[in-house]
Amino acid sequence: MKVNELRKMAKDLGVTKMETKKAELIKQIQRAEGNPDCFGTAVGGFCDQDACLFRADCLPKTKAA
């Protein structure tokens, strides 16, 4: 997902101070939605958030175990 799309999503969710880094912006969106702000934190490619909108962008960025 592109940063402009993320900014619009964040604005629609009422986020007022938007981060400049994509990962931090996604975490703000996750918090605003009431979800864990876990983007990029899965270890070894394991993530139990199957319905996460950002899953495809997140898993390639996670750290190896």
Are the CB atoms for 48 and 58 separated by under 8 Å?
no
The whole-angstrom distance between residue 8's C-alpha and the CA centroid of its chain comes to 14
Domain carrying residue 12: 3-61
In this prediction the pTM is: 0.84
Q: Would the CA dihedral through 44, 45, 50, 52 be positive or negative?
A: positive
Q: Which of 53, 26, 48, 45 is nearest to 37 (CA)?
A: 26
Domain count, the chain: 1
Structure confidence by residue, pLDDT tens digits, 7-62: 999 999 999 888 889 999 999 999 999 999 999 998 887 889 989 999 988 987 66
